[in-house]
Chains A and B, each alone.
Chain A
Amino acid sequence: MLATIIFYGLALLTVGSAALVAFSRNIVYSTFALLGAFMGVVGIYVLLAADFVAMVQLLVYVGGILVLTIFAVMLTAGIADVTVSNRAVGMAPALVVVFIAGGVMAYAALRTHWHVAAVVAPAPTTYGIGNAFLGDYVLPFEVASLVLLAALIGAIVISRHEARE
């Protein structure tokens, strides 16, 4: 079945890229692997009939956050020092913690009997999302703009280089 093949392809891309992000010794490889992870997640969103969220993910994550991360990587030194640019310590205890937490979550997710509704045919979602943003969710929507303004000002204040005398 075509959808299943597409899902496994996207899952392979996403998980492989995420593994490269988590295990690569070089911070530049990690950053570019993040691109593959984000693109795979965009495909998963499209598979879940969320076209608008997929486009928002593409614009904000790939076009914004990833570019910002690449800028930060390039602006901080140690790039040329390939072997130690992305040091990882304490792998064994971290693996134990991750396996315990992941096992508990897998048990909870797979043993629960989820009530699945009948899947509706995929339709454009922008109309409904726009109505929800200006209806039920208008207050969080306005607060979100305040949060973004605060983040903008905060980033300028934090990263501004103080002239010391």
Chain B
Amino acid sequence: MGGGIGLNHFLVLSLIIFSLGMLCVLTRRNAIGILMGIELILNSANINYLAFAFYGGGKYDGQIFAIFVIMLAAAEAVIGLAVVLAIYQNFKTIDVDAAETLSG
């Protein structure tokens, strides 16, 4: 299946997705947009795990770690969106520049 493609193709694809996710995290001012960038970054990390697992001889350790990453991403999304909803209840907006009560 993926054997004829080469490891570097997957690494470059993962790198591009990571860069787009980081750009999303750095420039967005919508809190949900920032969480979407984090999801992209976690997906790119998972592509790397599975690519190295595939080209490393088909062991299962890389896939196990990918499943743990997916599990933590689910927990992170649940907590992150709960925080976003709590911010929305207090500030009536989810623009992260507006929620600056703690800034000195």
Could you list which residues of chain A lie within 8 angstroms of chain B, going by C-beta atoms? 1, 3-4, 7, 11, 14-15, 18-19, 21-22, 27, 30-31, 34, 37-38, 41, 44-50, 52-53, 56-57, 60-61, 64-65, 68-69, 71-73, 75-78, 85-91, 94-95, 97-98, 101-102, 105-106, 109-110, 114, 116-120, 122-123, 125, 128-129, 132-133, 137, 140, 144, 147-148, 150-152, 154-156, 158-159, 161
* A119 CB contacts on chain B under 8 angstroms: 2-3, 54-55, 58
Cross-chain contact A31 with B47 (CB below 8 angstroms): no
Interface residue count for B (Cβ, 8 Å)? 73
Q: Given A109-B12, A117-B57, decide whether A90 and B26 contact each other with a Cβ distance below 8 A.
A: yes
Minimum CB distance partner of A19 in chain B: B20
> Residue-by-residue, is B19-42 near A (CB-CB < 8 Å gives 1, otherwise 0)?
111111011111011011101100
Alpha-carbon distance A132/B51, docked complex (angstroms) = 19
B70 contacts which of A57, A116, A154 (Cβ < 8 Å)?
A57
Main secondary structure of the interface of B (DSSP, over half): helix
Tell me the B residues contacting A by CB distance below 8 Å: 1-5, 7-13, 15-24, 26-30, 32-33, 35-37, 39-40, 43, 46-47, 50-51, 53-58, 60-61, 63-64, 66-68, 70-75, 77-79, 81-86, 88-89, 92-95
List, sorted by A's number, 28 A–B pairs whose CB atoms are closer than 8 Å: A11-B13, A19-B20, A22-B37, A27-B30, A30-B33, A34-B36, A34-B39, A41-B47, A45-B50, A48-B53, A50-B63, A57-B46, A61-B73, A64-B74, A65-B73, A78-B93, A78-B94, A88-B28, A90-B26, A94-B23, A105-B15, A105-B18, A114-B55, A148-B75, A151-B74, A155-B78, A158-B82, A159-B82
